[in-house]
Structures are given as structure tokens and as C-alpha cells.
């Protein structure tokens, strides 16, 4: 009997460290606005799997997609308190906290995928500048990296290949003065229309063109009313991976470098997913939707030259001329 009790006690002591490790594991909640499949969620899922593997389960991350934790603005407020840990979302939605993020929405700032990779490295100067802005504005946030969530392109009731094709075209724009000014500079007549009313507005002639993600163009069936898809690639959509500073402080010191490394790699996973998704939509437009969609390759260089002076003016209004020049320098680097 005594021997049996000793064996039980010994087995209990042996089990204790494993129970403690499970109980002490840091569990993180990761927010996105979007529904799968989406590049943001692909990056988030990969991050969750890989951080658990590389820390032997000491750090775990669970994705809450489709705005389950709330809209971006509310989530950012929660992250300041540490009640939500992580988010992957568009920089547009964080511009209330960091107005300089508006720079990344300037048309033709980042011309292509490889320029994005050069400019937006997690260990690069632009990421460092954004982190400094997080701290200057006392956001309670830590930047983990950037990813490319896809490109925005133009679709219209007629072919658009040159600047002349844009002249006088009634262009649907969101309620953003900066976006309206950019399309006006390209020769269009901007018309502010809510997203839910875009299809009807094109159908009835209130607008003749719109800009959207490629996936949105297909999902919303805009090709039925705007069958000419011009691959303007006027905006490479920048997504940010941000963490609550309080949550980072909860990560055991030996795992913090691992978390940052895995986060940076997750951003490349998301970027690759975004590129592949865009390329898949273009293939579908040229094959599955042939006869319903006509794909055009416009003169992007001419569009970019036209908008360059406006980039300076708008960046000045965001107090972000330094950030603009940093992106331009990174983009030019071969």
C-alpha cells in the first residue's frame, strides 16, 4: 500500500509541470474584419499555427474573423487596454489613430508587388517610422508588419486605356475628398455614391465607372453593368499587423523574438495569397467570363505621372511628407 501511494505521488509530481505549462500558455485573440477566403485570414491562420508550433504551445493565437470582435475602430480602442491582442486590417481604418496612414492610399504610390516588398519590410525604415508614430501618439500599439491585401482597379461601361478615355467619365467615388480629388485630376467627374448603391448607379447611368478590389468586382457582379475591366492597379492595398503593447508584455521574453519573426513571415504568406487571388480573378475574367468581361491593360505610367504632384499636396495635409519620401525612395531602390 505504501509503495502504491509513493508511485501515485511520484506520477502526480511528474505530471505537474505539463499541466502548469498548459495553464500558463498565453492565449491571444486576433481580429479581422473579413470573411474567408481572404489574404488577411490566410495570414492570421498561418500565424496561429506557426506560433503555437515554434513555442511548443506556450503562445497560441485564435482568429476571430468577420468583425466578430467589433469594427476596427472599437478593436483598436480595446487593444489599447489589452483586452484584444492582435489585428490584421487595412491601414485606411487605422488612420483615425495615425493620420499618416492615409499616405498608403495615395494612387500609384506603390507601383507593383515587388516595390511593395522592398518598401514595406517589417525590419525596414518605413515600419520603424510607423512604430515611432504609434509611440508619439501614445496608441499603446506595436507594429508587427505589413502585407499586400490585393490591388484596386477600374471598371467601366466603356474601354479605358488612356487618360483621354477618362475625360468626362462619371466616376463613382466613396465619401472621401482625397479620393475624389485624385480621380478628378485624372479627368473624371467624381460622383459620391454609397457602396450598396454602386450597382444601381452604374445600371441607371448615374455613374459610368467605379474602382474596387478585383474580388469585389466579381463578388458584387459589377461586370454585369461595367463589363470593361481596366487593370489600373492604382492602389496596392496595404494591410497592417498590429499588436497591443500590453499583450506583447504578457509574452514571455524568450518567445518575443519568435513572435515577431513569425508575424513577419505571416505577412509574406498573406502577400503571396493576395497576389495569387488577384491573378486568379484576372484569369477567370479572361476565360470563364470571356464575352461578359473585357480586360484592358491601360497606360499606368501616364496615370502615375499625372497624380505625382497631388501626392505631395495630400501627404502635406496628412503631416506625412517624410513618410511619402521614404516610400518613394524605397520604391526606386532596385
Residues of the chain above pLDDT 90, percent: 91
Query: pLDDT grade, residue 23 (50/70/90)?
Result: low
pLDDT given at position 22: 53
Q: Are the C-beta atoms of residues 170 and 163 closer than 8 Å to each other?
A: no
This prediction's pTM = 0.89
Could you say which DSSP state residue 83 is in?
S
pLDDT-derived band at 333 (thresholds 50, 70, 90) equals confident
CB 63 within 8 A of CB 30: yes
Domain containing residue 140: 2-332
Q: CATH number of the domain that 328 lies in?
A: 3.40.190.170
C-alpha cell belonging to residue 270: 498573406
Closest CA relative to residue 31, chosen from 40, 23, 19, 21:
40
Q: How many domains is the chain built from?
A: 1
Q: What are phi and psi of 209, to 5 degrees?
A: -155, 160
Q: Reduced to 3 states, what is the DSSP secondary structure of residue 237?
A: strand
Residue 8 is predicted with a pLDDT of 43
Residues ≥6 apart with Cβ < 8 Å to 172? 191, 192, 193, 198, 201, 202, 207, 209, 210, 211
| pLDDT band (50, 70, 90) for residue 332 | confident
The pLDDT of residue 288 is above 90: yes
Across-strand partners of 143?
242
Alpha-carbon torsion (132, 133, 136, 137), positive or negative:
negative
C-alpha to C-alpha distance for 22 and 7, rounded to whole angstroms: 23
Mean pLDDT, residues 209-217 taken together? 95
Question: Is the per-residue pLDDT at 54 higher than 90?
Answer: yes
Cβ-in-10-Å burial (0-12, 13-18, 19+) of 29 comes to: buried
Amino acid at each position: 500500500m505504501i509503495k502504491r501511494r509513493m508511485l501515485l505521488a511520484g506520477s502526480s509530481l511528474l505530471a505537474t509541470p505539463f499541466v502548469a505549462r498548459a495553464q500558463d500558455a498565453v492565449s491571444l485573440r486576433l481580429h479581422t474584419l473579413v470573411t474567408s477566403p481572404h489574404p488577411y485570414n490566410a495570414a492570421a491562420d498561418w500565424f496561429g499555427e506557426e506560433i503555437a508550433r515554434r513555442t511548443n504551445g506556450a503562445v497560441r493565437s485564435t482568429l476571430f474573423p468577420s468583425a466578430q470582435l467589433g469594427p476596427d475602430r472599437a478593436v483598436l480602442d480595446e487593444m489599447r487596454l489589452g483586452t484584444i491582442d492582435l489585428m490584421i486590417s487595412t491601414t485606411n481604418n487605422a488612420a483615425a489613430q495615425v493620420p499618416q496612414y492615409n499616405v498608403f492610399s495615395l494612387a500609384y504610390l506603390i507601383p507593383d508587388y515587388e516595390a511593395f516588398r522592398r518598401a514595406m519590410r517589417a525590419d525596414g525604415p518605413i515600419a520603424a517610422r510607423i512604430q515611432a508614430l504609434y509611440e508619439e501618439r501614445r496608441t499603446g500599439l506595436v507594429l508587427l508588419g505589413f502585407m499586400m491585401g490585393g490591388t484596386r482597379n477600374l471598371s467601366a461601361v466603356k474601354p479605358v486605356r488612356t487618360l483621354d478615355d477618362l475625360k468626362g467619365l462619371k466616376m463613382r467615388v466613396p465619401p472621401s475628398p482625397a479620393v475624389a480629388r485624385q480621380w478628378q485630376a485624372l479627368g473624371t467627374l467624381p460622383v459620391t455614391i454609397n457602396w450598396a448603391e454602386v450597382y444601381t448607379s452604374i445600371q441607371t447611368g448615374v455613374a459610368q465607372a467605379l474602382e474596387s478590389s478585383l474580388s469585389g468586382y466579381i463578388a458584387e457582379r459589377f461586370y454585369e453593368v461595367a463589363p470593361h475591366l481596366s487593370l489600373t492597379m492604382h492602389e496596392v492595398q496595404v494591410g497592417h499587423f498590429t499588436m497591443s503593447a500590453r499583450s506583447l508584455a504578457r509574452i514571455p521574453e524568450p518567445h518575443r523574438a519568435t513572435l515577431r519573426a513569425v508575424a513577419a513571415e505571416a505577412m509574406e504568406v498573406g502577400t503571396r495569397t493576395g497576389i495569387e487571388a488577384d491573378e486568379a480573378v484576372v484569369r477567370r475574367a479572361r476565360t470563364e467570363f470571356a464575352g461578359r468581361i473585357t480586360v484592358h491593360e491601360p497606360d499606368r505610367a501616364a496615370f502615375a505621372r499625372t497624380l505625382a504632384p497631388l501626392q505631395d499636396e495630400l501627404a502635406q495635409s496628412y503631416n506625412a511628407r517624410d513618410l511619402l519620401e521614404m516610400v518613394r525612395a524605397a520604391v526606386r531602390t532596385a
